[in-house]
Amino acid sequence: MTIDLLFPTPVYRVVDTENFLDRPRLLESCLEVVARREVQDRLSNPFHRVASSHLVADRLHLEPRFSGLKRFVEKHAGKFSRSLGYPSGKPRIRQMWVNAGKPGDFVYPHAHPGRNVFMAGVFYVKCDKRDGISILSQQSREEPEVTTPLSTTGQYYEGQEGRLLLFRADTLHGTFPQKGDSRVIISFNLALDDAD
C-alpha cells in the first residue's frame, strides 16, 4: 500500500525579530487609515466582520509611510516564490489594506482569487497571541474521529506581533472571534513582477 501526499499548502512565516519595522509608527498609521471617514462608512462586508479598509483604501503600499513594510513583504515574498519554483519571480504588492478588530470580530474563511493575484499574506502589527489565523483545507469532508497528519483539515497560527505569513492566493484562511482587546493587521495581495 502507498499513500501519496499531493498538492501541499505551503505557508511562509517569519518574524521581524530585529525590529526592522517601526511597529509603533506602523500601528499609528494603521489606526489613522481605519479612522478615515470613507473607511468608517464601510466598516465591514460579508467576508469581514471587522473594521477594514479593504473596500475603500487598499493601495496603502503606495503611501510613503508604509514603504518599509512594503520592502519587507516583497523581500520575503521573493524568497517564498523562489522556493515555490519561480526563480526569476519578483512578487510585487498589488493591494494592501488594514483590518482592525475588537473583541468578537472575525473574518469568514475565504481565499484571494483574482486576476494576477499570485500570493496573499498578513502582517501582525498588534495582537493578542490568542488571535491568530487558521489555514484551512479546501476539501469538505467528514471530521475524523482521530485527527492524523493525513486527515487534518487546518492549521492554526497564534497571533504574534511582527509576524509575516505568506501563502498562495487560493489558500483558504480565516479567523475565530477575537478574544483580545485589539488586533491590527495589514493584509495584502501580490502578483509576480508588475503584471496588470
> Where is pLDDT greater, at 115 or 50?
50
Looking at this protein, which amino acid is placed at residue 181?
D
CA dist 78 and 71 (Å) reads 11
**Cα–Cα distance measured from residue 132 to residue 142, given in angstroms and rounded to the nearest whole number:** 25
Would you say 34 and 100 are in contact if contact means Cβ atoms under 8 Å apart?
Answer: yes
11-139+152-192, CATH topology level: Jelly Rolls (2.60.120)
Amino acid making up residue 47? F
Query: Tens digit of pLDDT for each residue in 131-188?
Result: 999 999 876 667 778 888 888 888 999 999 999 999 999 999 999 999 999 999 999 9
For the chain, the domains span 11-139+152-192
Instruction: Give, rounded to a whole angstrom, the gap between the first and last alpha carbons of the chain.
Output: 47
pLDDT exceeds cutoff 60 at 196: no
Helix (H, G, I), strand (E, B) or coil at 101: strand
Q: How confident is the model at residue 25 (pLDDT cuts 50, 70, 90)?
A: very high
Mean pLDDT, all residues of the chain:
89
- Report pLDDT for 46: 61
For residues 22 and 41, the model is more confident at 22
Percentage of the chain exceeding pLDDT 70: 93
Whether the predicted model's global pTM rises above the 0.85 cut: yes
Least confident of 21-35, 46-60, 167-181: 46-60
> Residues for the chain: how many in total?
196
Residue 5 and residue 102: Cα distance in Å, rounded?
A: 39
What's the pLDDT band for 195 if we cut at 50, 70, 90?
very low
Q: DSSP H helical segments within the chain, as ranges?
A: 23-35, 37-40, 67-83
- Calculate the alpha carbon distances from 104 to 99, 177, 178 in Å: 14, 5, 5
Return d(Cα 66, Cα 177) in angstroms, integer.
27
